[in-house]
Amino acid sequence: MSIDTNIALPEGAPEEVVTHSLLREVDLRAFGFEGTLALITLDNGLDHNRPNTFGAKTLLELNERITEALASSASAIAITGKPFIFAAGADLSALSFLTSTEQAIAIGKLGHDVFRRLHEEKKPTFAFINGLALGGGLEIGLHSDYRTISATAFTALPEVFLGLIPGWGGATILPQLIGPEKAVQVIMVNALNNNTMLKAKEAAALGIVDAIFEPSDFLEKSVQFAADILSGKKKIERVDHTGDQAAWDNALATGRAAMNKKYGGAQIAAPLAALELIAGSRTASRGEGFAAEGALMKDLVMSDPLRASLYAFNLIQKKRKKVEGAPKAALARKVKKVGVVGAGLMASQLALIILRNLKVPVVITDLDQERVDKGLTYIRGELAKLVEKRRMSPETATRLSALITGSTEKSIYAGCDFIIEAIFEELSLKQKLFNELEGIISPECILATNTSSLSVTKMSEGLKNPERVIGFHFFNPVAIMPLLEIARTAATDDPTTATAVAIGKELKKTMVIVNDSPAFVVNRLLTRFMGEITDAIDEGTPPDVADSAMLPLGLPMSSLQLLGLVGPGVALHVAETLHEALGERYKISPTMQAFVEKGIRTFYIKGADGSHSVNPDALALIKAGNSPSTTEAVRLRALNALAQEAKMMLDEGVVATPAEIDLCMLLGCGWPIHLGGILPYLDREGISESVTGSRFHPAGVASLPR
């Protein structure tokens, strides 16, 4: 097979970190077979923080080793990875620098040409998946004739989430190997569900791999597996999945449903392309399937959605590791005991995540013993569920249960190093609480608030030590939502902030440090654009017209569905807070006031089949004006408002950079990753310049160079 060796990195791209291919022969006589195995080990020579990846130079070196292995006297070829890492797929660092279709075609073809040799040449091939195998890492395994996996390994095809497709054989081979329904689960459903990875047992149950071995003797057992295959002692039967038309139809329907759920009905290029490839793989030869992958991949690579996805993905990865504006970590104080004020659902969730991750004594209080007991029961019940799901040992659950205690007396907080309150959103109550606590705790104990909209500065007024007060705003559900907004006041000192950041890292949260301001970042922007939707309804726009305005963007839910999740009471409270602090652009909706007065909790009623119907009681409370708008007019109005508010936030110094606003909206409200963050989207649509007079990001960020 002729392979083009003149593949150059696009101009401006970072130098590829080459993953080398190391070849050695393994004598199989001790394993019961007269012959040898050509074993290729993928290893970039770095530690586990940089997994093996496939770039042009890596693929060309791998091709050379495959050629050498084929020319050798070895009876078979096997590929494995460095310790605990097989391969994490394509090196994506150069993709955003591609400027021509020819470059995109060449890179896609190179991967296909090298990988397909593992199946098309005469010698049997094996993949010994000894650790993490993502994207191209799994695809090189799929091209092999047989696959083993370490019991501790994880694998996935995450491309669709990133605006790509499994483009080096995965979208063609996997449906043929395990059937369309299982393939859609891996390629579409798991990818769109925040890149859910498969455990080794799950991969085996799906039929992706042929055997699982423990990591302690994984390579030895895998070599034995290969010897047994070569000797005929073991045989693996493959199933033909092409005949069941109903299974293919059901699989494609499942994939479309997953896309609609993720993107609110918007038609997104990458999942549509993946569905096209899965459908075509039923009758396509491998060569035809690979050609289709290449054609579709080329179009995706040369598109704004991919650039946007890569910007968002890289931003999330970068900010997960480094918190912008964080003080030196050495300033953080040790936290040996934590207090949570409140025992309701939010407070109990906070106590649980702190308990699980910090593993220190945690104390909670509430107004009466019944509420305290309810909170403790919830926490211990969640620990028990983790044991039932085998995600925690009984011993660990018992130890953690002993660390959580509760009381109605605030004196229990004596000795705490960090206290977070999650009581009712009333400023005077929080001020009173902090004053009471100051008489109980040490001057170094940090007082944190989980407020979503109130002024942290005002909470600290009158305290002897206002420098130890900080905002610590989680999103609901606490265990799942990755964002944590850390709000500093003008008085908050560096040791307090450093300690808060250290705790956030222990809780595995991605943090953004903001200057104290009304509703911080996420709730301020959400309230602004949701307010434009409800204002349009109050003015006379039919609710279905207004509510569908933002759906083409691919948001996970409509504005009125989000209202049902947040609750009209909370939404109205935040709007009132922002109206008081920021003025008339945050209007108080009479419809929202009516919902709260009449106890309406949701605009939609969810049926047993998952469908939504309008709540007639909610509809009856709308007192519409006589100035209706079109869907497009409502959408433009909402986007203009977001651009205006974002510019004000940057001018006010709420955050330091536009990227931090993007990060907050990506992780705090599910802003679609294929749009690349809220501000790159507003830039591409021309809204930024129209509203503010300039772009938020330089040209070319999260879009094709123009």
Instruction: Name the residues annotated as catalytic.
Output: 139, 159
- Please name the residue ranges forming H helices in 467-518: 494-506
* CA atoms of 65 and 235, how far apart (whole Å): 27
Is 178 within 8 Å of 207 (Cβ atoms)? Answer: yes
Distance from the Cα of residue 311 to its chain's centroid: 14
Nearest-CA neighbor of 56 among 107, 103, 20? 107
Going across the sheet that includes 362-365, the strands are: 404-407, 362-365, 338-341, 418-421, 446-449, 469-473, 483-488, 510-515
- Range list of β-strands (E), 599-688: 604-606, 612-614
Is 182 within 8 Å of 246 (Cβ atoms)? Answer: no
- The dihedral built from the CA positions of residue 176, 178, 179 and 180, taken in this order, carries a sign that is negative
- The dihedral built from the CA positions of residue 22, 23, 24 and 26, taken in this order, carries a sign that is positive
The torsion angles phi and psi of 365, rounded to 5 degrees, stand at: -135, 160
* CA atoms of 262 and 609, how far apart (whole Å): 17
3-state secondary structure of 594: helix
Nearest-CA neighbor of 530 among 562, 553, 504, 502? 562
DSSP label at 117?
A: H
Pairing of β 483-488 and β 469-473: antiparallel
Task: Residue 372: count other Cβ atoms within 10 Å of its Cβ.
Answer: 19
Residue whose structure tokens are 């990001």: 697
Is 340 within 8 Å of 422 (Cβ atoms)? Answer: yes
Task: Residue 223: count other Cβ atoms within 10 Å of its Cβ.
Answer: 23
Using alpha carbons only, how large is the chain's radius of gyration in Å? 28
Residues 6+ apart with CB under 8 A from 618: 595, 600, 602, 603
Buried b (16+ CB within 10 A) or exposed e, 633-643: ebbbbbbbbbb
DSSP label at 272?
A: H
Torsion, CA 587, CA 592, CA 594, CA 596, rounded to 10: -120
Q: Is 300 exposed, middle or buried (0-12, 13-18, 19+ CB in 10 A)?
A: buried
Residues 6+ apart with CB under 8 A from 587: 531, 535, 575, 579
* CA atoms of 28 and 605, how far apart (whole Å): 65
Q: Which residues pair with 262 in a beta bridge?
A: none
Is 570 within 8 Å of 577 (Cβ atoms)? Answer: no
What Å distances lie between residue 259 and 253, 254, 607, 635, CA to CA? 10, 9, 20, 22
Residue whose structure tokens are 């075609």: 105
Tokens of 637: 């109005």
